[in-house]
Amino acid sequence: MQPQSQRGFFITFEGLDGSGKTTQIKRLTAWLAARNIAPVVTRQPGGTETGDRIRALLLDSKSTGLSPKTELAMMFADRAQAIEEIIAPALRTGKIVVCDRFTDSTEAYQGCGRELGSQIVLELHRLICNDLRPDLTILLLPDLAASLARARRRNTHQTSVTGKDESRFEQEQNSFFHRVYTGYKAIAAREPDRVLVIEGDLTVEEVHAQVTRAVSSMLRQMNLISS
Among 9, 10, 109, 177, binds ligand TMP (CB under 6 A): 109
CA distances from 61 to 57, 122, 167, 169 (A): 9, 27, 6, 8
Name every residue whose Cβ is closer than 8 Å to that of residue 19 and which is 6 or more positions away in sequence: 140, 141, 142, 147
d(CA 110, CA 106): 5
Residues 121, 97 contacting (CB under 8 angstroms) = no
The yes or no reply on residue 48 touching ligand TMP (CB under 6 A) is: no
Shortest separation between residue 7's beta carbon and ligand TMP, angstroms = 25
Instruction: Please count the CA atoms within 13 angstroms of the CA of 156 that sit on its side-chain side.
Output: 7
State the nearest-atom distance from the C-beta of 215 to ligand TMP, in Å. 20
Q: Would you say 15 or 39 has its CB closer to ligand TMP?
A: 15
Binding status of residue 125 toward ligand TMP by CB under 6 A: no
Question: Which residues ranging from 16 to 45 are in contact with ligand TMP (CB under 6 A)?
Answer: 17, 43-45
Nearer to ligand TMP, 4 or 67 (CB): 67
The reply to whether 14 sits near ligand TMP by the rule CB under 6 A is no
Out of 106, 118, 137, 167, the residue judged to bind ligand TMP by CB under 6 A: 106
Single residue of 6, 24, 105, 137 touching ligand TMP by CB under 6 A: 105
Count of residues of this chain found to bind ligand TMP when the rule CB under 6 A is applied: 12
Residues 6+ apart with CB under 8 A from 145: none
Task: Return the amino acid letter for 63.
Answer: S
Residue 167 binds to ligand TMP (criterion: CB under 6 A): no
Q: Please say whether the beta carbons of 78 and 55 come within 8 A.
A: yes
Kindly list the residues in this chain that would bind ligand TMP in the complex (CB under 6 A). 17, 43-45, 59, 75, 101, 105-106, 109-110, 169
